[in-house]
A and B are shown apart, each in its own frame.
Chain A
């Protein structure tokens, strides 16, 4: 165990570390051990491992999050149509009960793995890892992870992806960023979806959505588009292209240590083979 690795000590919380470090056993047989680990330490380790899977193959992984029905799968369908001649794409689907979303992706001849999350309200790094081992990642450039439709729980779990994209549909109200700050704070891109419906909805104000988003100190870009009506997809597609190029450049400058793939933490007991 890295009980004292201190990986989470920041200037903002270092005062929480007990002065003088570990205390010795006191007279009543009590001993206090400093930990300073994330509550989700094991998930975070698994996420790093997943990121290594992606990086070792030069893959960019994008996590899509939103409320149920904001248009994640529709966006994937439109994106696949636009980019499948340019990039090899694979999709990991977190759908609670059905194979519907994975089937919509497979209908486009794109490999899709369904994570049957059952009663879970979010994906975690272990679920994604299992999915990766059931997906042929050879020659893949881009992996999309469609998270469970939920604006709360998915925000806390690193899956090993590189970028978070949050969708906010025009039908669900422009104040969602103010109501779910943790989710929208983590977004590397905000997409306002179902733009074709904006003229019909007099209470969704994109400027107001942007203001609520900026109030979270989030400097990420915001694009407004419609996946099913094919409106203004260019910004989104350009953003993906740009991120893939930046990722490749970064990997070329900082090559992945392939040996890391075979590391063994003593709290990471499972052994597995990578396809």
Chain B
């Protein structure tokens, strides 16, 4: 259950970005998490309210994009989709492959509320 640590790391980063941009709140956090990142998205979503409570990210929506696993074969040079525990070329069966996508664990963007007049209400 390292998802809580991951969530705390996300909250720290987005709050720093919000502060740099003088934002009033964080509306949305876009993530890209591949199956090979070792992060359980459901656990992450459960941990988020705990990690974000009392911060600018408290009411933020968490939008997670899960990219499919894609590999490139070192033998036949072709690309194929794969499963996390079977990163084998679907064309020629070779296991000498390289991951093209599916291992990302990224904050891609954040949407901030930067309404000026919020200072005065």
Contacts and interface: CB of A to CB of B under 8 A. Distances in A.
Interface of A: 1, 3, 8, 10-13, 16-18, 25, 28-43, 120-122, 124, 152-153, 155-157, 177-179, 181-183, 185, 212, 214-217, 219, 267
A120 B6 CA distance: 12
A17 B107 CA distance: 11
A182 B84 contact: yes
Contact of A215 (B12, B88, B101, B104): B88
A65 B108 CA distance: 30
Nearest to A44: B9
A275 to B, nearest CB: 27
A39 B13 CA distance: 8
Given A39-B105, A217-B87, 7 more contacts: A13-B67, A29-B116, A30-B112, A35-B13, A36-B109, A122-B5, A217-B88
Nearest to A212: B85
Nearest to A216: B87
A156 B35 CA distance: 12
A121 B38 contact: no
Contacts of B95: 214-217
Interface in B10-31: 10, 12-14, 16-17, 20-21, 23, 27, 31
A38 B105 contact: yes
Contacts of B21: 31, 33
A43 to B, nearest CB: 7
A177 to B, nearest CB: 7
Contacts of A40: 6, 9, 105
A13 B115 CA distance: 31
Interface string B84-121: 11111000000111111110111111111111101000
Contacts of B6: 39-40, 156
Given A182-B37, A215-B88, A217-B87, A13 B104 contact: yes
A127 B14 CA distance: 23
B60 interface: no
B61 to A, nearest CB: 12
Contacts of A179: 85
A33 B20 CA distance: 11
A216 B106 contact: no
A1 B16 contact: yes
B107 to A, nearest CB: 4
B27 A30 contact: yes
9 contacts: A29-B113, A32-B111, A38-B106, A39-B6, A39-B37, A121-B1, A152-B38, A156-B37, A216-B87
B111 A215 contact: no
A17 B9 contact: no
